[in-house]
Every structure is written in C-alpha cells, then in structure tokens.
Amino acid sequence: MDYTYLHNHLRNNGFTGLPISVCADGTIYGKDDLTDAQQAQLSAAIDSYDPLPYLKSAACSRIDAKAEVLRQTVLTPGSGQAAEYYLTHAEALNYLALMSAGKTPTDTDYPFLLAEQAALVATAGAVTLTAVATAIMTDVGTSKTALAAIKEARRKGKLAVNAATDAAGVAAAEAAVVWPEG
C-alpha cells in the first residue's frame, strides 16, 4: 500500500498536535507515547486509510501546475496583467465594431489602445489606432487557440485521473496527458 499521504489522512481525521510522525513507508514514530484511547483512534484511522483520493488530488495538482506553466508561455502571469489583457481586448473589440458600423471612435475613450500605440510608436514607428486594435484581435485569436489547447489537455487529464479506480490508473492517466507543444 502507498503510505505517502497517510500523514494527510491522519491530519484530516483529527490527529494534529500529537507527538507522532509518519514516514512514506508507513512507519509511525511516537505512537508508543500515545494513550490507549489515542492508539485505538490511530489504528481505526489507519484501517480506514485509502490513498486513492490523495493520489488523485496530487495528480490533479500537478496537472494544474503544468497547465499554468504552459499558460505562461502564452500570457504574462498575474491578475493585474489579466485585467489589462481583458480591458485591452474589450477596447479593441469596441473600437473595431464602431469602425465596422461606419462610426468614428473617440480615441481618448481607448486608453489601453493608446498606451499600446505609444509603445509601438516608440519602438516601431507610427501606427494607427485601427492597426493597433486589429493586431490585438489577431493576438487574442492566437492566444485563445493556444489557451484552449492547454485547457483541453488539462481537463481531459483531470477527468481521466478522477475516473481512475486505483493508484496505477491514476499514474497512467496523469502520464497520458498530451500537452500542446508551444
């Protein structure tokens, strides 16, 4: 039996603050210092130990971590950066919709597009706000495709892990995740 997560199981069953420690091989140190009642509780907790939920949780956490690393190859991490991406995309979408409708957008209503334009002017030369908005929409399309592929791999992997009925199945499901190449 896999005892890697036995310490979590014991903690989840109220064994905190006791003078015991658990090794990955299942060896419990300090149990001789427990009262008879505590030893009986410990035995019952060990008898009820099923590593499968812990193995699934750990595998899903590793899948999530890998997905996050891959997302960071597509996007800059951070909640502030996510808000900036969202607002810039919304401005580009709105700006181009107005242009498509034959209306003239007021440039000052688009501070994120103006900021992008200023950055581009400083490095690449003059560029119109329409070109900035169009480039942003192209970038969004590329990012969406990459992020959707990461999401698909992540979800398939986690669903397969959670459907596993034993430790070998969890390991196989996690190993079988096919991540997009970036």
Q: Domain check: are 96 and 145 in the same one?
A: yes
Q: What is the mean pLDDT of residues 146-163?
A: 98
Q: Is 1 a domain residue?
A: no
Q: What is the pLDDT of residues 90-139, one digit of tens each?
A: 999 999 999 999 999 999 999 999 999 999 999 988 999 999 999 999 99
Q: What is the pLDDT of residues 43-71, one digit of tens each?
A: 888 888 889 999 999 999 999 999 999 99
By three-state DSSP, how is residue 47 classified? helix
Q: Is 58 a domain residue?
A: yes
Question: Count of domains in the chain?
Answer: 2
Query: What's the predicted TM-score (pTM) here?
Result: 0.76
Q: Name 105's Cβ contacts closer than 8 Å, sequence gap at least 6.
A: 94, 95, 98, 99, 129
Please say if the pLDDT value at position 151 is more than 90: yes
Confidence category of residue 152, pLDDT binned at 50, 70, 90: very high
For residue 130, the tally of other CB atoms under 10 A from its CB is 14
By three-state DSSP, how is residue 117 classified? helix
Please say if the pLDDT value at position 182 is more than 80: no
With residue 129 as reference, give the H or E element that holds it.
helix 129-163
Mean pLDDT lowest among 28-32, 122-126, 133-137, 161-165:
28-32
Instruction: Confirm if 150 and 70 have CB atoms less than 8 A apart.
Output: yes
Q: Domain check: are 60 and 95 in the same one?
A: yes
The boundaries of the domain holding residue 140 are 54-175
